[in-house]
Amino acid sequence: MGSTAGPPDATYGFIGLGNMGFGMAKNVRQKIPSSSKMIVCELNKSARDEFCNTIEGTLETAESPKEIAEKCDIIISSLPNAKAVEIVYLDPSTGLLAGCSKDSKKLFLETSTIEATASLGVLKKVQEAVPSAEFLDAPVSGGIPPAHAGTLTFMVGGPEDVFEKAKPIMSTMGKAENLILCGGSGAGLATKQINNYIAYCSYVALCEGMNTGLKFGLDPKTLNNVINASSGQCWNSIHMNPVKGVCANSSASRDFKGGFKVELAQGVTRQMTKLMEEVGAKSMFGPVMDDIWARAVESPMCREQESRSIFRLFAEENGSSLGKVKVE
């Protein structure tokens, strides 16, 4: 399984067919050898049935992660939170480790965005139970459309030789040039959390700037064009301007329906504020970001909406849904 070869002919297990996992699993099935078997495990029956009924190629379903471990050589997981990852791996009755013999030679590619400390805890259990297994924390970035397009970025933590072995597999889901080894175990997740935090901090600034421009009477498209041609440019100003009609494919164009919800954004932001606390890094924006998301998940303007709906907290009701920050 060298980095220049295609994905190996093996039995693949994929656990989690949610917003990201569905597209990722689709690309794995389409790009691995036609002779390879793929077994999927998903609690949501409608998502599982939709996948099996719409994706071409040899497919089977498993009732539990344990069954995946018993039958598969390469196991990919895409799960919503650390608790789900711990259950999938560690449940004594249904978990992956329950289906592994001590000398199992499995490759675990764990792509969920969870706390680095939680991932390291799972890794320790894997190493104790299955010393010959290989494990990478490999969170992804890009969102749902790139998950379906197979153009994700992978931020990977783990041994370099395992990373090289896994590259042909990750290449089925992401751009080859965007498979990045960030360091040892946990480094992929720490990198992802830092990236997410910076993106959301810049989005809050974009919300403030666009709302100010609207109140001043500026044309929002012109304002955004200037931002994107100047030093204020950021990923969100290019792709996800919060003013409807400015970016054709932004979540604002869909009235913030679907996509990565505010509840999930609150979770990934808290992962970063927790990481800063754990490593003793000074933070000024952290408490502000925590406060914004806490208000968003309680507000009818944002609850259960796509995460960039927090623009409404700035633009509607004169920002009365937001708090005040006191600098001591």
> What residue ranges do the domains of the chain occupy?
11-183, 191-319
DSSP assignment letter at 319: G
Among 14, 259, 284, 269, residue whose Cα is nearest residue 145: 259
Helix 187-216, helix 262-279: angle, nearest 10: 120
For 247, the 3-state DSSP assignment is: coil
pLDDT tens per residue across span 243-288 = 999 999 899 999 999 888 999 999 999 999 999 999 999 999 999 9
Among 141, 172, 208, residue whose Cα is nearest residue 24: 172
Of residues 37, 165, 167, 192, which has the active-site annotation?
192
Q: pLDDT value at position 328?
A: 53
Q: How many C-beta atoms surround the C-beta of residue 258 within 10 A?
A: 12
Q: Identify the weakest region by mean pLDDT among 28-37, 141-150, 162-171, 189-198.
A: 141-150
Structure token pair of residue 81: 């939170």
Binned at pLDDT 50, 70 and 90, residue 114 comes out as very high
pLDDT tens per residue across span 155-208 = 999 999 999 999 999 999 999 999 999 999 999 999 999 999 999 999 999 999
- E strand or H helix at 280, and its extent? none
- Mean pLDDT, range 149-158, rounded to an integer: 97
CA distance 109 to 71: 16
> By percentage, how much of the chain surpasses pLDDT 70?
98
Q: pLDDT value at position 327?
A: 55
Q: Is the pLDDT of residue 325 over 80?
A: no
DSSP assignment letter at 56: -
- E strand or H helix at 324, and its extent? none
Report the amino acid identity of residue 324: K
Structure token pair of residue 189: 């997740």
Token look-up 């320790």 returns 124
- Mean pLDDT, range 279-303, rounded to an integer: 95
Residue 66 buriedness (CB in 10 A; 0-12 / 13-18 / 19+): buried
pLDDT tens per residue across span 198-252 = 999 999 999 999 999 999 999 999 999 999 999 999 999 999 999 999 999 899 9
11-183 architecture in CATH? 3-Layer(aba) Sandwich (3.40)
Q: Is 83 a catalytic residue?
A: no
Binned at pLDDT 50, 70 and 90, residue 326 comes out as low
CATH 3.80.30.20 fits 191-319, yes or no: no
Helix 285-298, helix 262-279: angle, nearest 10: 150
Q: Is the pLDDT of residue 4 over 90?
A: no
Q: pLDDT value at position 2?
A: 40
Q: pLDDT value at position 259?
A: 83
CA distances to 23, 35, 80, 141, 289 from 196, rounded to whole Å, are 21, 38, 15, 9, 12
CA distance 34 to 290: 46
Q: How many CA atoms lie within 13 A of 45 on its CB side?
A: 0
Among 16, 25, 14, 13, residue whose Cα is nearest residue 55: 25
Binned at pLDDT 50, 70 and 90, residue 53 comes out as very high
Q: pLDDT value at position 1?
A: 37
- Mean pLDDT, range 19-29, rounded to an integer: 96
CA distance 24 to 12: 13
Within this chain, domains 11-183 and 191-319 share the same CATH topology: no
Q: What average pLDDT does the structure give for the chain?
A: 94
The string over 190-229, giving b where at least 16 C-beta atoms fall within 10 Å of a residue's C-beta and e elsewhere, is: bbbbbbbbebbbbbbebbebbbebeeeeeebeebbeebee
Q: pLDDT value at position 157?
A: 98
